[in-house]
Structure 1
C-alpha cells in the first residue's frame, strides 16, 4: 500500500525503517507511468514503507530536498536520505536499489 504524505507528515512518515517516497504531480506523464510500478512494489516488499507526495500541493518538502525534476523517488533509512532516484525506473531496477537498504 502506498500512503499519501504531506509537508506536515513527511518527517514522521519517513522516520523509521526503509521508506520510499514518490514525488509526483498530476500533470507529469512519467509520474503516471511510475506510480503503478511503485504500487506493485508496495504489495511485494513488506519491509519497505511506500509514500507518495504531490509536489504541487506540498512545495515545502520538495524545495527543502532540492527536488527539481519529477518523478523523483527518495529512499530514507531511519530518517536519513540514503538514495535519490530521478526519472522513471522499472520494477526490477527499483527492487534492486531498495534491496541494498533492507536488512
Structure 2
C-alpha cells in the first residue's frame, strides 16, 4: 500500500493500459476524510493478493481525477485490465473496501 499521494499523475491512457487489478485512490495528504480512511484501506488490503495501488493527489484542474468524475475524497476506483469494475467513495469500514476488492478479484477468474 502506498503511503502518500503522488503529485504527478499518469495519464488516463496509461492507467487504462495497466494489466490486471489496479486500485486508483484519489485524495490529498491534508484531507481529513482521507486520513481517517487510511487505516481502513490498510486493513482491507492486508492479506489480499498482490495488487497495484496508485495513490493520486486530486484537486481542481487535475485531469486524471476529472476523467474519473471524482467529486469526493477519498475515492477508490477498482480497475481490471483498464476497465472500472468497482468504486468506493469515503469508505466507512474496511469490510466495504474488502467487498469491492473481492468482487474486483473475482472478475479476473
Secondary structure of the residue that 2:104 maps to in structure 1? coil
Runs of 4 or more consecutive aligned structure 1 residues displaced over 4 Å after TM superposition: none
Q: TM-score, normalised by structure 1?
A: 0.79
Q: CA deviation at 1:66?
A: 1.0
Q: Which has the higher strand share?
A: 1
Secondary structure of the residue that 2:46 maps to in structure 1? helix
Q: CA RMSD in A?
A: 2.5
Q: TM-score, normalised by structure 2?
A: 0.75
Q: Structure 2 unaligned runs (5+)?
A: none
Q: Deviations over 1:64-101 (max 9, x none)?
A: 11111111110101111111221123111111111112
Q: Deviations over 1:29-74 (max 9, x none)?
A: 1110112222333332124322211114981100111111111110
